[in-house]
Structure 1
């Protein structure tokens, strides 16, 4: 009887010991799992925050782009509105260039016209009438480089090649009598090469 009580007592202690070890291990497992869950939760929160920030940045960029587009459209509309007046002023300057015999004034005005055209793509796209007028109005060889410079903004690739060939042939045939004009026309060829 006493022996049975001792065995029972030892058995109870053993069971308690096992329960204690299991409990401790499961407590460690629970703590480990809760730490892992906390770590996962932090990572998920971080990802969510990054996504929110990215979304906000995308929305900001969309808004900025929309504002830029609106501004560009506004500027485009203003340029279109001002185009007829610009073309008129350009024609007036060209009339002065063609009518003046003073070479200094002529050259200065030519440079101004080329600069104005070079800075405005809308003018470049609407030069056909001015080019026609120039082709019909140029009387002296001295105005030829100017005509070709203006035309250079308005020619496609094939027309540029044709113009280069024409100028080269005229130089070879001695059509340009003035030495300075020959040099100017050679510069025009270089300019045309840069256009394509």
Structure 2
């Protein structure tokens, strides 16, 4: 993943910012938003957090509602997504705005610190296995020993049959649409579960939506 690639992707998402939330809500029957909140109740005690690819700030607002002390570094490669996220918090949680540092960067340019919480909601699916491996290594290095990794993403069921086939076909169409609209280069889901296990992460909680197509998982580092 190069700077040029990230910059192109960020500008690509700039083009769809105005309709992003509407499209996400309609196409998933609002399950994409709902799936991100599966384990929100676990996020009430952390002091520091990192949200990667936060988009228009939907999840950010929910975390600030849930946790009255957390300070969050909010990262997105799209300047327009950052603008919308700032606007959302100014309108919905103005007294919490000082607890958020908005950063318009690709994850490869981030100056990582130590966090109690790292969030990747519909973010890792933008990248190939190689870059997800790099990110997983960063997660391991920069997550506190008792910290949480919070991941929501598309999921392909382990079972065979029509549901697995239809999910694979649907994802191919989705990736094609994003390649046309945002210059996304990835063509298939990365093997996130396997990669995180290789970095000593274990899933402690998981919940599925749309017959298993969407999955929210909480991870901790195995001592």
* Higher share of residues assigned helix: 1
TM over 0.5: no
TM-score range, shorter chain: under 0.3
Higher relative contact order, structure no. (Cα contacts within 8 Å, ≥ 6 residues apart): 2
* Higher share of residues assigned strand: 2
